Amino acid sequence: ARDKEGFMSLNSTAFSHPAYFLLVGIPGMEKEQFWIAFPVCIMYAIAVLGNITLLLIIKTDPSLHEPMYLFLAMLAFSDLGISTSMLPKMLGIFWLGSREIGFVSCLAQLFFIHTFSLLESGMLVAMALDRYVAICRPLRYSSILSLPVVVALGSLVLVRGVLLVSPACFLLHRMPFCQHHIISHSYCEHMAVVKLACGDTRVNVIYGLFVALTVTGPDILLISVSYTMILRAVMRLSSTEARLKAFSTCVSHVCVILTFYIPALFSFLTHRFGKSIPPYIHIMMANLYLLVPPTLNPIVYGMRTKKLWDRVVLL
């Protein structure tokens, strides 16, 4: 009887948690994935090289230990976290057909991807606020954004990400998954995994919606207000050359920010309402919002910041 009970318990565990999931990659584009992997690999190399270079330069140069550059270092850290959490495995799927990912590894990947995504969003807000204070309140810049304030903001954003993503992983760990183990995605995304569960997933769906609305909504609002105020201040400048230079910088920053939020919102809404959208378009957009910003951020924020670019050239 004891052996029978142990066997049933073992069966129950296997029923609840599959040993592994299978990642499809890009549904409907399995044959093209091999070639898609080449530009993806190049972008990953640029992201890693660019962000590590920024981190090393900011760390070794004491003159760059200012709020703007410290926020940029945190952004580079989140970019490295996002890209490294997903791209090595994605390239393994595209080039080697290595589709298997263990259940715990899948939850770990999900945790890191979403935590670093929330950190990225928070850092974009912090950098927008930094630019607002520098341009609109220059005389109070050092008092408003002192080093303790910068450290507190960075810590708050990181803790926010960890605290909001952890319950989602915990809820998934408690769900039974039956025999469904094929994830129609390139990585372990929250809603893609939730769809495989065979229990009641309403709590998971509602919590995912809650996190998206409480993070993305306020973050986009704060960034929009900051850049609106910045543009108003820029338009008041007397020098046409100064106006054009400041306007060009703001536009490039806003474009990079949009490359993060637009595909992210598209992916989020498609999971819930976009049943008619082809899966390959959805997955491509979901990949782009985690791949493009880490590639562009060191180029846009690094090359268009003269002080940083001078250090890069010197290096």
pLDDT (tens digit per residue) in 101-127:
999 999 999 999 999 999 999 999 998
| Residue-wise pLDDT tens digits, 84-100 | 999 999 999 999 888 89
Residue 10 lies in a domain: no
Task: Tell whether the model's pLDDT for residue 13 goes beyond 70.
Answer: no
Residue 290 lies in a domain: yes
Does pTM surpass 0.85? yes
Task: Tell whether the model's pLDDT for residue 271 goes beyond 70.
Answer: no
Residue 7 lies in a domain: no
Q: Would you state the pLDDT for residue 5?
A: 39
Burial 88-104 (b: 16+ CB within 10 A, else e): ebbbbbbeeeebebebe
- What integer is the mean pLDDT of 272-301? 81
CATH label of the domain that carries residue 271: 1.20.1070.10
With H, G, I as helix, E, B as strand and everything else as coil, classify residue 23. strand
Structural domain for 25, as ranges: 20-313
Strands 20-23 and 182-183: parallel
Return mean pLDDT, the chain. 83
Q: What is the C-alpha to C-alpha distance for residues 126 and 116, in angstroms, rounded to an integer? A: 15
Residue 5 lies in a domain: no
Q: Would you state the pLDDT for residue 288?
A: 84
Residue 308 lies in a domain: yes
Residue 1 lies in a domain: no
Q: What is the C-alpha to C-alpha distance for residues 161 and 303, in angstroms, rounded to an integer? A: 29
Residue whose token pair is 């590894």? 105
* Count of structural domains, the chain: 1
Q: Would you state the pLDDT for residue 14?
A: 45
What's CA 232's distance to the chain center, in Å?
Answer: 29
Q: Would you state the pLDDT for residue 312?
A: 67
| Residue-wise pLDDT tens digits, 26-39 | 888 888 888 989 99
Q: Are 93 and 23 in contact (CB under 8 A)?
A: yes
Strands 100-102 and 20-23: antiparallel
- The secondary structure of the chain in percent helix, strand, coil, rounded to multiples of 5, reads 80, 5, 15
Confidence of residue 306 (pLDDT cuts 50, 70, 90): low
| Residue-wise pLDDT tens digits, 164-204 | 999 999 998 888 887 678 888 889 988 888 888 887 888 98
Residue 232 lies in a domain: yes
Task: Tell whether the model's pLDDT for residue 9 goes beyond 60.
Answer: no
| Residue-wise pLDDT tens digits, 39-87 | 999 999 999 998 998 898 888 888 888 888 899 899 999 999 999 999 9
Q: Would you state the pLDDT for residue 252?
A: 74
Q: What is the C-alpha to C-alpha distance for residues 249 and 257, in angstroms, rounded to an integer? A: 13
Residue whose token pair is 């803790």? 159
Residue 105 lies in a domain: yes
Q: Are 107 and 188 in contact (CB under 8 A)?
A: yes
- What integer is the mean pLDDT of 291-308? 78
Best CA proximity match to 22, nearest among 91, 103, 96: 103
